[in-house]
Amino acid sequence: DTAVSQTPKYLVTQMGNDKSIKCEQNLGHDTMYWYKQDSKKFLKIMFSYNNKELIINETVPNRFSPKSPDKAHLNLHINSLELGDSAVYFCASSRREGPAFFGQGTRLTVV
Amino acid sequence: AQKITQTQPGMFVQEKEAVTLDCTYDTSDPSYGLFWYKQPSSGEMIFLIYQGSYDQQNATEGRYSLNFQKARKSANLVISASQLGDSAMYFCAMRGLSGAGSYQLTFGKGTKLSVIP
């Protein structure tokens, strides 16, 4: 009964490839997020969705495209992967107030 | 705009002692929430404690307490009776409770806590 689950946990791929990370939450939350954690552990928001609608789209290359088919899912598709995309990507969800709960993270390595 | 500052990149504490991790914030939101998360070496983000800006009392959760001083814009985490398993990165975060600010958590850079046996 995992609250926020994202797959895969590890992703190793070559430059130029396209990849997707899936995220699902069973908490009934309205808001879902994608965060990127760099090598210095800094967490930066990429996208925020509320009830399937994009609310926040930070300065993220167009190669990153989130998709929310329903309130419980927020997937992240990345085109033409670059070396600099290597990071840990976290999905999270929350209600309007209260904490966000995070998935286990996806460690993306681009070689 | 929201900003979180954690000025301690690393901290050491003796096992069984208490430790305070500092966090200051800045926001234009009239009401907001403050959070602390723990990230052990295994990588997951674990929610520890929450404080609403309108709460009169400081939040507590087991060995964790949040020392909230609104006038000073600080939200320090106090861990009592430190255990070896407390060794981890600790992140302070905030979110507004209205408007666009309510749709993102802004994080500080984190403090790496090491508990010494």
The residues with which B113 forms a beta bridge, in sequence order, are: B11, B88
Residues from chain B that touch A107, judged by Cβ atoms under 8 A, are 43
Nearest Cα of chain B lies from the Cα of A6 at a distance, in angstroms, of 12
- For the stretch A50-101, pLDDT in tens is 988 888 888 899 999 999 999 999 999 999 999 999 999 999 999 977 899 9
Rounded average pLDDT over A27-40: 95
CB A80 within 8 A of CB A18: yes
Confidence of residue B101 (pLDDT cuts 50, 70, 90): confident
Q: How far apart are CA B80 and CA B95, in angstroms?
A: 26
Residue with the larger pLDDT of the pair A59 and A17: A17
- Residue B31 near chain A (CB below 8 Å): no
Q: How far apart are CA B53 and CA B73, in angstroms?
A: 10
* A32 pLDDT higher than 90: yes
Q: How far apart are CA A82 and CA A60, in angstroms?
A: 13
What's the pLDDT at A66?
A: 95
For residue B112, the chain A residue with the least C-alpha distance is A41
∠ Cα A108 A104 B15 (to 5°)? 115
- For the stretch B17-60, pLDDT in tens is 999 999 999 998 889 999 999 999 999 999 999 999 999 899 99
- Residue A88 near chain B (CB below 8 Å): yes
- For the stretch B80-92, pLDDT in tens is 999 999 999 999 9
**What is chain B's mean pLDDT, rounded?**
95
Give the best-scoring range by mean pLDDT among A45-49, A50-54, B62-66.
B62-66
Percentage of residues in chain B having pLDDT higher than 70 = 100
Nearest Cα of chain B lies from the Cα of A48 at a distance, in angstroms, of 6
| Residues A96, B110: C-beta atoms closer than 8 Å | no
**What is chain A's mean pLDDT, rounded?**
94
Percentage of residues in chain A having pLDDT higher than 70 = 99
* A1 pLDDT higher than 70: no
What's the pLDDT at B92?
A: 98
Residues from chain A that touch B102, judged by Cβ atoms under 8 A, are 96-97
Q: Where are the beta strands (DSSP E) in A27-95?
A: 31-37, 43-50, 53-57, 64-70, 73-78, 87-94
What's the pLDDT at A59?
A: 81
| Residues B47, A56: C-beta atoms closer than 8 Å | no
